[in-house]
Structure 1
Amino acid sequence: MLLSVLAAAIAPGLALLAYFYWKDRYDSEPLSMVLRMFVTGVLIVLPAMVLQRGLTIWLGDSPFTFSFVISAGVEELLKFFVLYHIIFNHTEFDEPYDGIVYATAVSLGFATLENVLYAFLQPTTFGTLLVRALLPVSGHALFGVFMGYSLGRAKFSKGKQVRFHLGMAVLLPLIWHGVYDLMMLTVPSSWMWVAVPFMLLLWFRGIRRVNRANAVSPFRWLKREEEIKS
């Protein structure tokens, strides 16, 4: 029973990680690096929990403060911190889509441990885990897409555009994450018709960024030339 619950809690994060990894059409990242960032996402859960507890004591836990500062603010800033300091200047970050791969890896590592903790600390059914796979785990993946897309643009920009896109790498996922959390706190849980369109909107915008990042890969033209020659 414990193993089945653990597998159900871990599977959504790994499945989504595989999905975004395989979306890299032209120059796949080393799997070891992707898994390293996934584990890094797991490891930042503890400092996030400590910071969130301290901020809750200091600021209180009103829905808006919790959503945009304590939850989204802490989590997205920690994700950005590790991505910027570990990946941004790494030699493997050599095309815009790489930002999405590594950011979703960190986000899904974080979401997976959250899901495991929830599965073992809360009364859980298969239906509950399915809903969590469709909402918070999927949400974290898409917040990672928004962060990674902007990191990719910053990596291959110049001048003031670098700072602008780095700022967007924090701001965009923080806003979407905050809106999601606020909706979960203030909208009755029976109103799934509100959550589902919101997630569809996130997926629509996320996939557009995936396609845009792939479209500007410098390896796209190299692959096309190889196909023509062959």
Structure 2
Amino acid sequence: MILVVGAIQVIAVSFMIAWLIRHKCGEKFSRLYIAELIGLGFLALALAAVLGIVFWEDGFIQIDNPFLKGMITALLSAALIEEISKYSMFRIAALNKKQVVTRLDAVIASSVVALGFTIGEDILYSLEGGLGTLIRVFLPCHLLFGAVMGYYYGKAKNTNKWTYHVLSLVGPIVLHTIFDGIPFALSIIFDRLDLMTTSETATNMDPVYLGIIICTLGILTTFIIFFVLVIMTFRQVSKCSKNNLLNEEINIDYKLMLLKKMVN
């Protein structure tokens, strides 16, 4: 059963990668470059694992409020480490100026790197969690994070504004923190519930139940919102591909680009 779950996840993500590649305008990515993007996604996962071992330790965050602790834990243990790792690998991929030519190319390339990361994560999670990880098939949020990363990277290259470079990293980190933060908070509440004595359980259950209800509703709301955002990402890529949008070259000299705009 574990192998079946893992296979379903990998196949689903592979279809997403194929769909993205098919919507690239102009000359298509070479097969070697596609393999490179997926491989860089795997390397990002390995880098994130190393950074997690070096910089993160369970119990590091000493905060009583489970919601605040969940958000900070999500930021430091997952979002920051994983998005920095993916960003680093995407920047390596973007060095190939013959493949990543336009802003849409940047969006697709960063998304494929993110989905390569997802394939590796899916395999690991399926070995650990079984059927529960199938939700990742329907909610590939790394795709969303990668698309945001590539969009702002392309805009930074196209406008020569450093603020967009910052957004290409900060945007995915913020989204990732929001997505993971509430589930982390719920996990913290359940961990504390397990540690409570019988007398404590009898007198302090109302706040616990309230926290569980709030977190559960928060998780459902977050999942719905992010599911819509993922669908919108697919639709925007399709729209840009069909209407030849985001086709500005991102690797030409900035001064030369301004000169061309003035002439036109």
Map of 1:131 onto structure 2: 135
In the TM superposition, residue 50 of structure 1 has moved relative to its aligned partner by 2.2
| Matched-pair contact (CA < 8 Å) for 2:102–2:248 | yes
Pairwise CA RMSD: 2.6
Aligned counterpart, 1:20: 20
What is the match of residue 126 of structure 2? Answer: 119
User: Take 1:204 and 1:111, find their aligned partners in 2: how far apart are those partners?
Assistant: 17
- 1:183 is matched with 182
Counterpart for residue 220 of structure 2: 193
- Are residues 59 and 129 of structure 1, via their aligned partners in 2, closer, same or farther at CA, if it must alter by over 3 Å? closer
Report how many residues are paired.
211
| Superposed displacement of residue 169, structure 1 | 0.6
Residue 178 (structure 1) shift? 0.8
Is the 8 Å Cα contact of residues 107 and 140 (structure 1) preserved in structure 2? Answer: yes
Contact 2:45 2:121 (8 Å CA) reproduced: yes
Q: TM-score, normalised by structure 2?
A: 0.70
Q: Which whole-Å deviations, capped at 9, do the CAs of 1:147-205 have from their partners, x for residues lacking one?
A: 011111122223xx1x1221111011111111101132235585463133222342255
Taking the TM superposition and a 5 Å limit, the aligned residue runs for 1:70-219 are 70-88=77-95, 90-122=97-129, 124-125=130-131, 128-135=132-139, 138-158=140-160, 161=161, 163-186=162-185, 191=217, 193-203=220-230, 206-207=233-234, 210=237, 211=239, 214-218=244-248
Q: Does the C-alpha gap of structure 1 residues 59 and 65 become closer, same or farther in structure 2, counting only changes over 3 Å?
A: farther
> Max radius of gyration: which structure?
2
User: Residue 24 of structure 1 aligns to a residue in which SS?
Assistant: coil
**Aligned partners of 2:226 and 2:86: how far apart in 1?**
21
* Deviation per residue, 1:6-61 (Å, 9 max, x gap): 31231122122122222224442223212211111112222211211332228825
Contact 1:96 1:217 in 2 (8 A): yes
Equivalent residue number for residue 260 of structure 2: none
Mapped contact 2:37–2:112 kept (Cα < 8 A) = yes
Q: Distance in 1 between matches of 2:246 and 2:44?
A: 31
Residue type of the alignment partner of 1:72: A
The residue type paired with residue 175 of structure 2 is W
Residue of structure 2 equivalent to 1:222: none
- Given that 1:39 and 1:109 are in contact with CA atoms closer than 8 Å, whether structure 2 keeps it comes out as yes
Q: Percent identity?
A: 20
For 1:49, give the aligned amino acid.
A
Alpha-carbon distance in 1 for matches of 2:55, 2:136:
25
**Could you say if the C-alpha distance between residues 157 and 212 of structure 1 is closer, same or farther in structure 2, counting changes exceeding 3 Å?**
farther
Q: Using the TM superposition, name which of 34-43 and 16-25 deviates more.
A: 16-25
Question: Normalising by the residue count of structure 1, what TM-score does the alignment of the two structures yield?
Answer: 0.79
Rounded to whole Å, the distance in 2 between the matches of 1:150 and 1:212 is 15
- What CA distance in whole angstroms lies between the structure 2 residues aligned with 1:44 and 1:198? 26
Gap change, CA 1:101 and 1:171, over 3 Å in 2: same
